[in-house]
Each structure stands twice: as structure tokens, then as C-alpha cells.
Amino acid sequence: MSRYSFRKTVACALFFAAFVVAVPAHAGGKPKKVPTDLRADYLARLHEQYMPPPEARTVGSLWSAANTLGDLSSDYKARNVNDLIVVQVSVQTSAAQSGNVNSQRQFNTASGITGLVGNVATGAVNPLFNANSATTLKGQGATSSNTTFSTSLTGQIIAVLANGNMVIEAQRQIAMNNQHEDLIIRGIVRPGDISSANTVASSSISNLEIEMKGKGIISDSVRPPNVITRAILWLFGF
């Protein structure tokens, strides 16, 4: 069998295997979680980190902490479940590392004979042994990484913890020119970190989770080829 025939046979076998395994990967496994399940899991993880304090109730009192106008000294800001809040995201990380290695070693040795029996010139045998060795090592390396992400979007309070901190979630979906992008932000906000304009900075959000994913022509163009495609390219030498 010629080399071309062998490659053609292997390519046909790979195409047949691709059609056979075309069944979705999650068909026989666990079902894919919907956004509601992801939010429930996120809230469950957060509630495990906090111990609820004992409830303090005043018998016969008409005042309730959940009233919007119950606290006349505070501004009208997000404080209850389903209240809207503006999240100003500004994430910038940079890391740099460098290292230098410089070492040197030198070795010299010599041996000779100062005297011999009889009338023999010592210059004929000296030096008996003379060796030199030198080793030098010098290395240098540097790495750097930078990440910048900035945006602003409006979310809502999805839960209020026992200590008064609020769990927020913000979502944004953009569909344009056959490209779909989803942005999800979750975290914990203290009431005191919310400004008078009902905004909060991402640097003041605890347990911050930012997820941005896209699907469309841009994502497909930068996605690496699958195993079958890479194998075919290797066989035919493209």
C-alpha cells in the first residue's frame, strides 16, 4: 500500500469515527445546569460561610427593619431583595517576575618530579601533569502578565445575609452581528460600601465572580481545532 493510500484510508476512518461520536457528550451524563441551578448553588456556598445570629424581636413593636422608609436618616439605596444596584467593574491585574543566575568556577592543577635516580634531566619529565578547567554559567529570565477589564452594569439583590450584607447578581447579554456574549457578576456587598448614587465598585465586592463567555463568528474563529481536524492536518501535511 502506498503512502497516499494509507493516508486516505486513515482519513476515511477518522471521518467515520467523527460521525459515530457525534452524539452530545452530556446525553448519558449529568444534565447541564440552568442559570437557576447555578444561582442556587452560589447562594448555598455563601450561606455555609455564615452562622445566623439569634433573632432579636420586640413584642408589640410596629417598627420593622424591612420597611423602605423605616430608617429616615439613610438615603434611598438598595437594601432589600430585588432592589437594583449599579456595579462598576474595574479589574486590572499585573504580575512580573525576573531572575538572574551568574556562577563561575575555575580549577587548576599541576604535578611534577623534582628528582630522579641517575643522571636524568628533570625537564624531560616535568611537568608530569598539568590540567586546567573553567566553568561559567549565566542565565536570565523574565515573565509578565497583564489583565484589564472595565465595564458598568446594573444588577439586583438576590439575597440578604443574616449580618446585613447583600448578595448581588448582574447579568448582561449582547447579541450583535452573529455574535452573542454573556456577562455575569456575583458577589457580596456591605451596605456601607454603596454610594449615595446607588453604585458600588468591584473592589468593594467580596467573593467576586466574573464570568464572560461568547458564542458566534468571533469565538469560532479563535477556537482551536478539534482532535479530528488536527489529525487530518497532520496526515495530509497542511
| pLDDT reported for residue 80 | 82
Residue 26: the pLDDT is 47
Ordered per-residue pLDDT tens for the chain, 238 residues: 555 566 667 666 666 665 555 445 444 556 777 878 888 888 887 777 665 555 555 666 666 665 656 666 666 788 888 888 999 988 888 888 888 888 888 877 777 766 666 665 656 666 666 778 888 878 888 888 787 888 899 998 988 888 889 999 998 888 877 778 888 999 999 998 998 889 999 989 999 998 888 777 666 666 666 777 777 777 766 5
Query: Are the beta carbons of 200 and 86 closer than 8 angstroms?
Result: yes
**How much is the pLDDT for 168?**
92
Q: Record the cell numbers describing residue 43, joined without a space.
A: 447562594
CB-facing half-sphere around the CA of 66: CA atoms within 13 A = 6
Q: Which of 201, 223, 197, 190 is nearest to 92 (CA)?
A: 201
Q: Tell if the pTM clears 0.85, that is, is over it.
A: no
Tell me if the bond preceding 127 is cis, omega within 30° of 0: yes
User: Where along the chain do its domains lie?
Assistant: 32-50+75-93+147-238, 96-143
Q: What distances in angstroms separate CA 186 from CA 77, 107, 158, 174, one per listed residue?
A: 18, 64, 10, 18
Residues 201 and 150: their CA atoms lie apart, in Å, by: 11
pLDDT at site 189:
94
Residues 6+ apart with CB under 8 A from 83: 156, 157
